[in-house]
Amino acid sequence: MDKLIIRGGNRLSGSLPISGAKNSALTLIPCALLTDEPVTLRNLPRLADIDGFQHLMTQFGVSHSIAGSRPEDFGRVVTMETTRITSSTAPYDLVRKMRASILVLGPLLARAGEATVSLPGGCAIGNRPIDLHLKALEAIGARIELAQGYVKAIAPDGGLTGGRFDFPVVSVGATENVIMAAVTANGTTELTNAAREPEIVDLCNLLAAMGAEIEGIGDSDLTIHGVKRLHGASYKVMPDRIEAGSYACAAAITGGEVRLEGARAGDMGATINALRNIGVTVEHDAKGVDIAANGALKAVNLSTAPYPGLATDMQAQLMSLLCKAEGTSILKETIFENRYMHVPELARMGAEIETEGRTAIVKGVEQLTGAEVMATDLRASMSLVIAALAAAGETQVRRIYHLDRGYERLEEKLKLVGADIERVGDD
C-alpha cells in the first residue's frame, strides 16, 4: 500500500489542470444503460472509483473502448455500448466498495424492467440511507422489495408510469436515480424540491443530448416527459468543482498563486465566497480560476448546505485552511453527521480544533508541524495533504487509496506548482 511523503513550506505557484468531475462522471456512466447505441464520455477522469464503476457496468453487458489514451494524459475518452442488458443484478462484491453503485438502480429498472442491487458501501462518513431513492422510484410506478441486503425494483407490465414526488429533504443521489428512471417512462414525472447541483445539470444535459425531454434543468422543480427510447450521444464531463476548490485551498494555505486551468467559477460560487471571506484573492475568466493569497488569512464562520450552499465535500479542505487563519472559526456540518474524522489527524499536526456534535471550532495556529497521519475518507485525505503542504518538516499520509478514488494523479499536479511531494511504498 502506498503513502505520500510531503515536505511542507513550499509556496505553490504556477498552473495545474482541473480534471473531469468525479461526482458527475459516476452519474453519467450509468446513462449508457438507457440506450442500445454508443455513449461517449470525454474528459473522463482516471480514478479508482471510475474504474470500479466501469467494471460494475460490464456485469450488465456494457462494452467499453478507450480512444487515444496515453499514460501522460489527464482524462480519457471512453465509449460505452449496451446492445442488450445481459444481467439486471449488481452483486455485493462489486457494489460494497462504492456508494455510487446505487445509481444503476434507476436506469436498469427503466431499460430492463427490473433491477436487483446490493445495498451500497463507500466512505464511512455517517448514515446515508437510500429510502428517498426507493420512495421516488415507487412514486413513478416501481414496486420495491428489500431482502437479504438487496433492493429489488420491478416495473409494472408496460413499464414505469411516471408520477409526482416531492422530496422531503434535498437528496442528490435520489434525484439522479429517479431522473434516469423517468426519462423513458410512459407518462410525465414531476419532481419538487429536487437537488440542483451542477452535477445534476450535467446529467440532465447528457440525457437531453440522448433525446430526453426535461424541463426546469438547474431548478428545484423538474418536469420529465417520458420518451419511447433514447439514442447515443457524445458528451464532455464537466470540470470538477471539488478538485478545483481543494487545490485553491492548497494554494492559499501556502501563500501561493495558482491558476486552475479549466475550472468553472460558475459552479464554485459558495467556495469562492468562502475563500474571499478568508482573505484569498479569486479571479476568473472563461478558461479557469486564479487563486492568490498574499496576506494574512482571516477566521470565518461556515456552514455546509445543499447547492447553491457550501458543498459538504469542501468542508474538510476549508477546515485545514482555517487552521492557519488568525482567530477562531466555526464550521457547521449539516449534511452528514460523522464527517469530522480528520480532526484527530490534524491535531497530530498541531491544529487546535474542538468538535461539539456537528460543529467544529477551529483556533488558528502560527505553525503546523509534520507528522504521520492516516486518511479516513476521500475529502479527509485531501485535508491532510493541504495541511502538510504548509507544515514544517515532513508529513507521511497513509491509506491514500482514498485519494486515488477522487483526485486524478494528485502528486503530479501538485509537483507542477512546486510542491515537494512523492508517492512511495508503505513498508
- Count of CA atoms in the C-beta half-sphere (13 A) of 408: 27
Q: With cut-offs at 50, 70 and 90, classify the pLDDT of residue 124.
A: very low
Residue 122 has pLDDT above 80, yes or no: no
Q: With cut-offs at 50, 70 and 90, classify the pLDDT of residue 231.
A: very high
Predicted local confidence at residue 75, as pLDDT: 86
Mean pLDDT of 232-254: 98
pLDDT tens per residue across span 386-410: 999 999 999 999 999 999 999 999 9
Predicted local confidence at residue 127, as pLDDT: 45
Domain boundaries, the chain: 2-19+240-425, 22-230
Predicted local confidence at residue 72, as pLDDT: 66
Residue 204 annotated among the catalytic residues of the structure: no
131 labelled as ligand-binding? yes
Q: Which run of H or of E encompasses 49?
A: helix 48-58
Q: Is the four-CA dihedral 21, 272, 261, 415 of positive or negative sign?
A: negative
Mean pLDDT of 241-246: 98
| Residue 284 or residue 338, greater confidence | 284
> Which of the residues 123, 204, 249, 323 is marked catalytic?
123
Residue 125 has pLDDT above 60, yes or no: no
C-alpha cell of 267? 459552479
C-alpha cell of 198? 451542477
According to DSSP, the residues that pair with 4 across neighbouring strands are 397, 423
Residues 6+ apart with CB under 8 A from 154: 109, 113, 114, 142, 143, 144, 145
CA dihedral 187, 193, 195, 197 (to 10 degrees): 110
132 labelled as ligand-binding? yes
- Residue 308: asked if its preceding bond is cis (omega within 30°), the reply is yes
Residues 6+ apart with CB under 8 A from 83: 36, 61, 63
Mean pLDDT of 73-77: 86
332 labelled as ligand-binding? no
Does the global pTM surpass 0.85? yes
Would you say the CATH fold of 22-230 matches that of 2-19+240-425? yes
Residue 34 has pLDDT above 80, yes or no: yes
The CA-CA-CA angle for residues 139, 143, 145, to 5°, reads 125
Percentage of the chain with pLDDT > 70?
96
d(CA 38, CA 64): 9
Instruction: Please name the fold of domain 22-230.
Output: UDP-n-acetylglucosamine1-carboxyvinyl-transferase; Chain (3.65.10)
| Residue 42 or residue 148, greater confidence | 42
28 labelled as ligand-binding? no
- The CATH architecture that domain 2-19+240-425 belongs to is Alpha-beta prism (3.65)
Q: With cut-offs at 50, 70 and 90, classify the pLDDT of residue 242.
A: very high
Residue 68 has pLDDT above 80, yes or no: no
Q: How high does pLDDT run on average in the chain? A: 94
Predicted local confidence at residue 345, as pLDDT: 97
C-alpha cell of 384? 491532510
Residue 310 has pLDDT above 60, yes or no: yes
Predicted local confidence at residue 241, as pLDDT: 98
Mean pLDDT of 406-416: 96
130 labelled as ligand-binding? yes
129 labelled as ligand-binding? yes
398 labelled as ligand-binding? no
128 labelled as ligand-binding? yes
Q: Are 117 and 104 in contact (CB under 8 A)?
A: yes
Mean pLDDT of 367-377: 95
Q: With cut-offs at 50, 70 and 90, classify the pLDDT of residue 121.
A: low
pLDDT tens per residue across span 341-359: 999 999 999 999 999 999 9
Predicted local confidence at residue 126, as pLDDT: 41
Predicted local confidence at residue 123, as pLDDT: 39
State the pairing for strand pair 114-118/143-147: unpaired
